């Protein structure tokens, strides 16, 4: 294990990258295996701290959160966002961005919901996942092999996938049943919402994939230093293609969770997830230049952003403040480390 280089190998701290990581420390091999160092390097400390503060405040204002019903409602609310944000994270890790992620979500959502009308559930699930994979590979192929900018490619495919979604189903509907709702969004055991279980399974699977397989190392590597990766003989293009495909699959999971928890298919259901998935990834401390970002940070960032509205509701504040507050949280969590580093640098500069 220790022979493998850490996910984001020392990269030159660029002025534009927003990170809480201190300037690259001298390599201490012994520390690489500990979780804290990895979290710090991936910029996950700030979103985790933000979530802990948020959660404590939430429970103080509204202790009812810990009751079975509210816990389940809250988790059904955040799990789709968390899954889509994980998809966005994988694309961001390879230095891209996916503008079409909301449209992919809408498309998978309506495919899943309409296919349930005629096909058995596992086939519908498989179809939705394949659609997500196909959309991701379409983007990935154009970005990796045609050399086009990710932001422009996914802008184009956002129009395309979105129109396909409305072609499949032009108004909310579909055949999501009560049983499917219970299997994805009900309560498995007392105080264990099954949505959280699915999220945990997917997150652990993704973590194993990113941290313990060659593909995962390559995804981090391609984002952090394309040239070295190429020099090392890794197929950077294939890695990018697979990263976009993986993001599509993760998005399809989010789409199915959303369709099941709302018991409907909706061709516009993915639209709000475009901006909020990017916001969650930003709040998670990922670098939009690629190579840095953590799974746990992204999930907790999605939880924070997804629950702000709820918290304000229970605090008796106009819930429209949620947009203002989430924006301020993003700027604070992403910006404060940068300010801190600049100030620290200036103070050090005066001393020397």
Partner 1 sequence: MTTVAPPSSPSPSASPSPDAGTSTTGAVGRPSVGSILGRVPRAVWPLVAFLVLFAIGGLIRPNLVTVESLIGTATFAIILAIASFGQTIAVIQAGIDLSVPNTIGLSALAFLALVGPLGPLGAFVAALAAGAVIGFFNGAVIAKLGLTPIVTTIAMNGLLFGVILLAFNFSELTVTPDFVIAITSAKLSVLGISVPAVLPLGLALMVVLQLVLSFTGWGRSLFVVGAAAETARLAGLPVDRIRITGYMLSGALAAFAGIVIVGYYQQASATMGASYLLSSVAAVVVGGASIFGGRGSVVGTVGGALVLAQVATLVTVLNLGSNIQQLIYGAIILVVISLYGRRRAA
Q: Which two tokens stand for residue 204?
A: 């652990």
| 269, 165 Cβ separation under 8 angstroms | no
Measured from the CB atom, is 39 or 330 closer to partner 1?
Answer: 330
| 100, 293 Cβ separation under 8 angstroms | no
Q: Least distance to partner 1 from the beta carbon of 269, Å?
A: 15
Q: Least distance to partner 1 from the beta carbon of 138, Å?
A: 10
Measured from the CB atom, is 6 or 221 closer to partner 1?
Answer: 221
Q: Which two tokens stand for residue 9?
A: 């190998």
Report the C-alpha gap between 170 and 167 in whole angstroms. 6
Measured from the CB atom, is 170 or 179 closer to partner 1?
Answer: 170
Q: Least distance to partner 1 from the beta carbon of 318, Å?
A: 6
Q: Least distance to partner 1 from the beta carbon of 322, Å?
A: 7
Q: Least distance to partner 1 from the beta carbon of 326, Å?
A: 6
Q: Least distance to partner 1 from the beta carbon of 178, Å?
A: 31
Q: Least distance to partner 1 from the beta carbon of 272, Å?
A: 10
Neighbours of 206 (CB within 10 A): 22
Q: Least distance to partner 1 from the beta carbon of 337, Å?
A: 10
Q: Which residue ranges make up the site for partner 1 (CB under 8 A)? A: 15-18, 97, 99, 142, 146-149, 151-153, 155-160, 162-164, 166-167, 170, 226, 275, 278-279, 282, 288, 318, 320-328, 330-331, 334-335, 338-339
Measured from the CB atom, is 27 or 342 closer to partner 1?
Answer: 342
Measured from the CB atom, is 155 or 204 closer to partner 1?
Answer: 155
Measured from the CB atom, is 185 or 326 closer to partner 1?
Answer: 326
Nearest to 14 by CA among 289, 343, 350: 289
Measured from the CB atom, is 117 or 324 closer to partner 1?
Answer: 324
The pair phi, psi for residue 264, each rounded to 5°, is: -160, 155
Measured from the CB atom, is 148 or 234 closer to partner 1?
Answer: 148
Measured from the CB atom, is 94 or 279 closer to partner 1?
Answer: 279
Q: Least distance to partner 1 from the beta carbon of 335, Å?
A: 5
């Amino acid at each position: 294990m220790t022979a493998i280089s850490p996910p984001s190998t020392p990269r030159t701290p660029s002025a534009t990258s927003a990170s809480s990581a201190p300037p690259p420390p001298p390599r201490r091999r012994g520390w690489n295996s500990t979780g804290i160092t990895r979290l710090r390097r991936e910029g996950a400390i700030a979103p985790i701290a933000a979530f802990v503060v948020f959660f404590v405040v939430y429970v103080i204002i509204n202790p009812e959160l810990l009751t079975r019903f509210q816990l389940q409602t809250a988790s059904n609310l955040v799990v789709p966002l968390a899954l889509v944000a994980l998809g966005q994270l994988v694309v961001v890790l390879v230095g891209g961005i996916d503008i079409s992620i909301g449209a992919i979500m809408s498309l998978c959502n309506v495919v899943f919901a309409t296919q349930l009308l005629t096909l058995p559930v596992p086939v519908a699930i498989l179809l939705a996942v394949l659609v997500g994979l196909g959309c991701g590979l379409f983007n990935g192929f154009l970005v990796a092999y045609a050399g086009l900018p990710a932001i422009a490619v996914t802008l184009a495919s956002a129009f395309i996938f979105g129109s396909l979604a409305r072609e499949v189903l032009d108004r909310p509907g579909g055949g999501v049943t009560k049983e499917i709702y219970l299997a994805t969004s009900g309560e498995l055991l007392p105080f264990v919402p099954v949505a959280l279980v699915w999220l945990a399974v997917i997150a652990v699977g993704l973590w194993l994939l990113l941290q313990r397989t060659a593909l995962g190392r390559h995804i981090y590597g391609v984002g952090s230093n394309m040239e070295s990766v190429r020099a090392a003989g890794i197929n950077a293009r294939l890695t990018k293609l697979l990263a976009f495909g993986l993001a599509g699959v993760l998005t399809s999971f989010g789409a199915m969770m959303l369709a099941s928890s709302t018991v409907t298919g909706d061709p516009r259901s993915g639209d709000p997830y475009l901006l909020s998935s990017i916001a969650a990834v930003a709040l998670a401390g990922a670098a939009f230049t690629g190579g840095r970002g953590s799974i746990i940070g992204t999930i907790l960032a999605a939880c924070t952003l997804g629950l702000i509205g709820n918290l304000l509701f229970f605090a008796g504040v106009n819930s429209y403040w949620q947009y203002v507050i989430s924006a301020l949280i993003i700027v604070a969590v992403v910006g404060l480390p940068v300010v801190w580093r600049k100030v620290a640098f200036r103070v050090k500069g005066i001393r020397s």
